Structure 1
């Protein structure tokens, strides 16, 4: 039997994994700042997390089923979460003479923003766990 603390717990864990992967990607971009013809890479996962959130929180809503009046009618498409994080090359910066387009200022800014978001997710996870801990502590005091 699986025990789920809350719906947001798995979503927060997935968001932390994506943020950690993005931090690694940005670090790789900085490490390759002097590599000829290197293009900076990035990862976009907001759409994947939004789709995951919608799937988690919209399950309780009743879905209207399509009526089939004839056996030859087409089957309705099943909804599935096929949105995945996408890897892309961050473009739009002037390439240097060696073809490298890594901008250290952009990379350090993105790393700082990603680090702040990672820390915010960690704090949200701690708050989520603290709520359940307080409930357990309060129920232990009840005779």
Structure 2
């Protein structure tokens, strides 16, 4: 018997994605003046495929049906190669990174608030509705 729904696992995976994105944005901002540094980004598509593969299973009712597998790589961090914003070959646009940072912080906070709400609901149920 499964005690909890997949909501906790999905929220956890969302928080993991957001933490990885925060780390890459922080690295980009820290290297804004580093010559020939190329900005990095986190691919949501790869992170989403990993989350789907780990939490969703397809039930094949016939051996002729296709398997639901994908060959996505485990590394979700990609390098943006074609951008050069400074004369020293640096590929970090500080305005873009700051807006990505603000967006990611809002996303992380929304996930954390939702997870907190789920735990409060469990606490209410355990306490008998009080």
Does the TM-score normalized on the shorter chain lie above 0.5?
yes
Structure 1 residue 18: deviation in Å?
A: 1.6
Q: Report the equivalent of 1:72.
A: none
> What pairs up with 1:13-92 in 2 under 5 angstroms?
13-49=12-48, 52-53=51-52, 56=55, 63-66=60-63, 78-80=67-69, 82-83=71-72, 84=74, 86-91=76-81
Q: Is residue 120 of structure 1 aligned with residue 117 of structure 2?
A: no
Following TM superposition, by how much is the alpha carbon of 1:57 offset from its aligned partner in structure 2, in angstroms? 5.7
State the number of aligned residues: 129
In structure 2, the residue matched to 1:135 is 125
Q: Distance in 1 between matches of 2:3 and 2:55?
A: 12
Q: Is the 8 A contact 2:60 2:67 kept in 1?
A: no
Q: CA deviation at 1:33?
A: 0.5
For 1:123 and 1:85, the matched residues in 2 are separated by 27
Instruction: Work out whether residues 43 and 85 of structure 1, in 8 Å CA contact, stay in contact via their aligned partners in 2.
Output: no
Aligned Cα root-mean-square deviation (Å): 2.9
Paired with 1:87 and 1:46, the residues of 2 have a C-alpha distance of: 11
* Bigger Rg, which one: 1
Deviation at 1:104, TM superposition (A): 0.6
CA contact (8 A) 1:51 1:81 kept: no
Unpaired segments ≥5 residues, structure 1: 68-75
TM-score (norm 2): 0.79
The normalised TM-score by structure 1 is: 0.72
**Deviations 1:23-44, CA, capped at 9 Å, x for gaps:** 0110110110100001100111
